[in-house]
Amino acid sequence: MIKQLNFGQYRHKNSLIHLLDPRVKILSVLFLSILIFTISGYEILIFTIFVIILLILSKIDLMNLVFNLKVFYSFMLFMLIMYLLFARNQIQDGLLVIWRFFMVILLSYVLTYSTTLSMLIAAVEKLAIPLSLFGVKPRNIGVLISATIRFIPVMFVNASRAKDAINSRLGSFKEVKTVKIFMVLLLERMLKSASNLADAMYSRLYNEDAKSSLALSMGKYDYISVTSILILALILIIY
């Protein structure tokens, strides 16, 4: 259970990816996530190799990664079963969609593994500046994203506690009623945590007009990264 808590969480490592400007990382993840859905065939293989290189450069423990992603395996299996049941003649397309989905998860994992929440907020604040023209406060978006990531482990802990509480009183998860109770219990606890967080943020003078104290600047590795991604895109498109 505790190992699951690593999903989506930052780890302090001295890696090249950790050093990159968070804006570059966010935009790269967005760009690559779109790119993966525009390519097929052998191009996917090249893309996969590129993602593996990113994982290695981020110094991610690959064994832990396999374990930490286990929450997604059942979802991917479900997608596969749906294809098998309702679109058997399109099974190849189905596998491709699942693989693309998996690549997007890996890219997001690299982003959250190598970027602290305050860095993410600082980057989102900068990238979302144009939205302020429409009255949207960039800091609100940044804090919303960071709170979501911050609360992934809290959700696992709450889920574990709710499950233990039900199991200790001989509840059976084979019954729909028990699953419903579990969901309500989990939702209730998550709402309570969210309410506590809101109180804590208010108490600590949360100010949607405040700016992140982190100064962001592009370095040579950022330019190399952007160039590498553009070259990859060019190769895949020409290929």
- 186 touching another protein, by CB under 8 A: no
Q: How many helices (DSSP H) and strands (DSSP E) are in the chain?
A: 10, 0
> Which one of 84, 144, 201, 237 is in contact with another protein (CB under 8 A)?
201
The one segment of 31-39, 86-94, 211-219, 221-229 that binds another protein by CB under 8 A: 211-219
> Which one of 42, 73, 75, 206 is in contact with another protein (CB under 8 A)?
206
Q: Give the helix, strand, coil percentages of the chain, each rounded to 5.
A: 80, 0, 20
Angle separating helix axes 22-36 and 117-127, nearest 10 degrees: 80
- 1 touching another protein, by CB under 8 A: no
Please, how many CA atoms are within 13 Å of residue 129, restricted to the half-sphere of its CB? 7
Minimum Å gap between C-beta 118 and another protein is 4
Note the residue count of the chain: 239
Output the CA–CA distances (angstroms, integers) from residue 134 to 58, 144, 195, 201, in the order listed.
36, 18, 27, 25
> Which one of 14, 89, 168, 213 is in contact with another protein (CB under 8 A)?
213
> Which one of 118, 140, 160, 178 is in contact with another protein (CB under 8 A)?
118
CB nearer to another protein: give 44 or 59.
Answer: 59
Short-list 119, 206, 193, CA closest to 162: 193
Determine the size of the site formed for another protein (CB under 8 A): 33
Instruction: Judge contact between 208 and 131, C-beta under 8 A.
Output: no
Minimum Å gap between C-beta 3 and another protein is 11
Collapse the DSSP code of 173 into the 3-class scheme (helix H, G, I; strand E, B; otherwise coil) and give the result: coil
DSSP assigned state of 175: S
Minimum Å gap between C-beta 21 and another protein is 16
Residues that bind another protein (CB under 8 A): 5, 9-12, 116-118, 143, 146-147, 149-150, 153-154, 193, 196-197, 199-207, 210-215
